[in-house]
Structure 1
């Protein structure tokens, strides 16, 4: 497990990774290689916007944290709603995983929920490095 200081030290790289994830998944969507899903679009947009916010010079500013929290809550609610739909189908006996070469939206929504939650928690835990 990584210590929090390591994550803080690499915050800009984590933010860039979130932006790359967002751009890559939007590219897949806009080229028609994946199903056009409104849940997924919200989740990938929130991940990218949180990445952009995390590039702000001082993350302690209240507008950054307020906007990051609001976007994070939107993304988390949408991801949880989509993920719960998979659990609902599972309980009803209607669930089946996608074909082997396709990652199921049930699994992707759970991953998106973890990424969004992690980005918001990292945003709120950030402190500037002490002077040397």
Structure 2
């Protein structure tokens, strides 16, 4: 299993989906446990990650309607993550940016990770059941 090959992820979409669900549940537990502050952007992103994970492990993941709904949900989550991430870039441009004291819960870093994750999950959902040509 080569982690740098796209076919690895396309062949193991259910495992990726389970990892996404775990990430979503851990993120929600930190919110509900009061470890992080209440943030509607973060809540939307972690919910979208969980929904996309559930969709990837679903037997209906290869149906075109499921793929379409996943695209809509994924684009929503990516838009929310991009907006939150851009607010950090806006602060950087204004010279007022500072990382949070606890860098693990910094919204700039987390929204960037969520953006990558949501787009990746959406891609995997869109192309689940297919494999790409072997790259040399």
What TM-score do the two structures reach when normalised by structure 2? 0.88
Which structure ranks higher in relative contact order (CA pairs < 8 Å, sequence separation ≥ 6)?
A: 2
The CA RMSD measured in Å over matched residues stands at: 1.5
* SS of equivalent to 2:59: coil
Give aligned pairs, total: 129
When structure 1 is superposed on structure 2, of 31-40 and 6-15 the one drifting more is 6-15
Taking the aligned partners of 2:130 and 2:86, their CA distance within structure 1 comes to: 37
TM-superposed deviation, 1:63? 1.5
Return structure 1 stretches of 4+ with deviation > 3 angstroms.
Answer: 100-103
Unaligned stretches of 5+ residues in structure 1: none
Aligned to 1:84: 86
Task: Write the distance in 1 (CA, Å) between the matches of 2:103 and 2:74.
Answer: 30
Structure 2 unaligned blocks of 5 or more: 132-136
Moved more, 76-85 or 60-69: 60-69
Shift of 1:128: 5.4
> Relative to structure 1, is the Cα distance of residues 102 and 59 closer, same or farther in structure 2, using a 3 angstrom cutoff?
closer
Q: Which residue of 1 is the match for residue 14 of structure 2? A: 12
1:21 counterpart residue number: 23
